[in-house]
Amino acid sequence: MDDSRKALQAFLEIISFDRIVSILLLCLIAWLLLISIEFLLKQLNKALPKYRLIWNRSYPFVRLFVWLSVIIYSIVGIIDPHENLILAVVGSISIVIGLATQEPAKNMIAGFIIMINPPYRVGDMVTLSGHYGEVIKLEWSVTWLRTFDDNTVMVPNAEALKTAISNANSGALDEMVVVKFTLPMHVDHKKAISLAREATQCSPYTFLNKPIIVNLGNEYDLGDFLQTITVKAYVMDVRLEKKFMSDINIRVLSAFKNAHFYDEQQTPTH
């Protein structure tokens, strides 16, 4: 009876009003700090957009660090529990880890793994669970994507780690874009390759510091032999991917049409 009374007393001491207020105050400070950091990072993004990926990817780490610091300081500095209690907490954490098969805990652990050993970062163009888009936010439990249709997609981190992830730019601003063209077999393939390369080079969105690759292939479709021209080029900024693809299509198709590659009835374009 005495033991249980002592335990209750110890517990009441831990959750005393002062301590709760201190912890809340600490959380408030941490929250304000994070808001300030986020605001500053946004300003940096505006001032130096070239380095936006660096600023964006640093925020999840900062947030993790701030909240971990809050948790540790709250336990060690404010609550200052008895050794037995620490042991009990460690035991509880072990149970939580044991129960990590539960979805929320699983997502949080997955989020932690993603932050430590990132298969993608904020600003990358990735395919997650069948959705392709830019990673706009990386949280403990979920990853937020913005697709080119301007939809925001939330993918649970556990889901992201479970499946294969395709990352188009891996932390760089430029990204390879692949556009395929089909041509009738009788077309001069050397001229087609040359035109495709030059037309791609003419696009103002082409990142010229990296090579433009044009591959020739062939396929049999609907009873016709066709040759395929695959253009692989880098776009200056991942956000321009679709615009770039469309631009390459416009330019290469115009070049092909002007060279009369398709048929006699088509109208030359400029």
Partner 1 sequence: MDINLRFFNRLSQWVNTFFAPKATLKTESDDAQKGLVSLKTIANQYQSQISEKTVNETLSSHFIYTSEDFIARESQIKQITDVINLWRNHHGEISAIVAPAGAGLSAFLGQIPSLLASINTQQQDASTSKVKPLPEKGVIMSFYQAPLNASDAIANVCYCFDMQPPAAMTDTSITDIIIAINQLPAQLIVIDDLHKLMLRMMGNAQALVTFATIIMETRKHHCWILGCEKFAWQRLSAQYQITHFIKHVITFDYFNTKELASIQTKQLVDLGLISDDYLIKKSDKTDIHRPPKKSGATHNESDDDDAVNPYEDQLKQLHIISQGHPKLAILLLQYSLTHQADIAQSSSSKKSDNHVKNSTRKDTDNNSNQCTDICKINASALPSCQDSDLFSLAEIYVHGGLRVAQHAHIFAQTIEQSSLQLAYLARQGLIIAQYSQRDFAQHFYFITPALSKIIASHLVNNNKLFN
Binding site for partner 1 (CB under 8 A): 31, 34-35, 38-39, 46-50, 63, 67, 139-140, 173, 195, 198-199, 201-205, 207-210, 236-237, 247, 250-251, 255, 270
Q: Specify the residue, 6 or 260, whose C-beta has the smaller distance to partner 1.
A: 260
Number of alpha helices (DSSP H) and beta strands (DSSP E) in the chain: 8, 8
The answer to whether 231 and 238 have CB atoms below 8 angstroms apart is no
Quote the least distance from Cβ 172 to partner 1, whole Å: 11
Quick one: 42 or 127, whose CB is closer to partner 1? 42
Dist. CA 23–CA 39, nearest whole Å: 24
Measured from the CB atom, is 50 or 190 closer to partner 1? 50
Q: Rounded CA gap, 7 and 1, in Å?
A: 10
Q: How far is the CB of 194 from partner 1 (least distance, A)?
A: 8
Question: How near is the Cβ of 175 to partner 1 at its closest, in Å?
Answer: 12
Q: Is residue 21 packed enough to be buried (19+ CB in 10 Å), middle (13-18) or exposed (0-12)?
A: exposed
Shortest separation between residue 10's beta carbon and partner 1, angstroms = 29
Distance CA 126, CA 124 (A): 6
Nearer CB in complex with partner 1: 68/89: 68
Cα 254 off chain centre by:
35
